[in-house]
Amino acid sequence: MELRPATASDLPALVRLSSSVQELHARSVPAHIRMPTSDPGCAGLFRKALAEPTACLVVAEKAELVVGSFCAQEMTREENWLRPALRIFTLEHIVVDPAFRRQGIGDALIKRFLAEARSRRIDRADLVCWNFNEEANQFFRRHGFREVHARYERAV
């Protein structure tokens, strides 16, 4: 398996991988996530990340097939009366093709994400993970992430 920066030629594979995650989330939280469609928005999101210097888009390739990826973004918050200034590396998206899970690809991707943060001299990383996705929550905890806060909602 090889990890490498994504290129424009990876867009179809990135959209394919993203669709599997989007479908999982759409089934579990349909009020928040739509089922995947042929809308070009997903490809546009990845195309924008490829052009953004504060973003990082990496693919995992096995036998010339893209089997996983992550997309991350540097975030900066200015200091204010409530909180100190903050520079953080946010994992916006990570996915491994279901047919290739449990082969260490996710571990390699998260290690690369953290190494990328260090190479940018960023000492904090964060991500958002839905409560229903216990498998992902366990994965992130295994890699040293801890829950910082919870967000609640209800119908009115």
pLDDT digits (tens, 9 = 90+) for 71-125: 999 999 999 999 999 999 999 999 999 999 999 999 999 999 999 999 999 999 9
CB 77 within 8 A of CB 86: yes
Q: How far apart are CA 64 and CA 62, in angstroms?
A: 5
CB 1 within 8 A of CB 108: yes
pLDDT of amino acid 28: 82
pLDDT of amino acid 52: 94
Could you tell me the residue ranges of all domains in the chain? Answer: 2-142
Residue in 152, 30, 6, 8 with CA at minimum distance from that of residue 93: 6
pLDDT of amino acid 49: 92
Residue in 132, 131, 113 with CA at minimum distance from that of residue 122: 113
The reported pTM is: 0.90
pLDDT of amino acid 60: 97
State percent of the chain over pLDDT 70.
Answer: 99
Distances (CA, A) of 105 to 20, 66, 79: 16, 11, 37
pLDDT of amino acid 39: 67
Confidence band of 44 (pLDDT split at 50, 70, 90): confident
Give the number of other CB atoms < 10 A from CB of residue 42.
Answer: 19
- The domain 2-142: what is its CATH number? 3.40.630.30
State percent of the chain over pLDDT 90.
Answer: 72
Residue 41 pLDDT exceeds 80: no
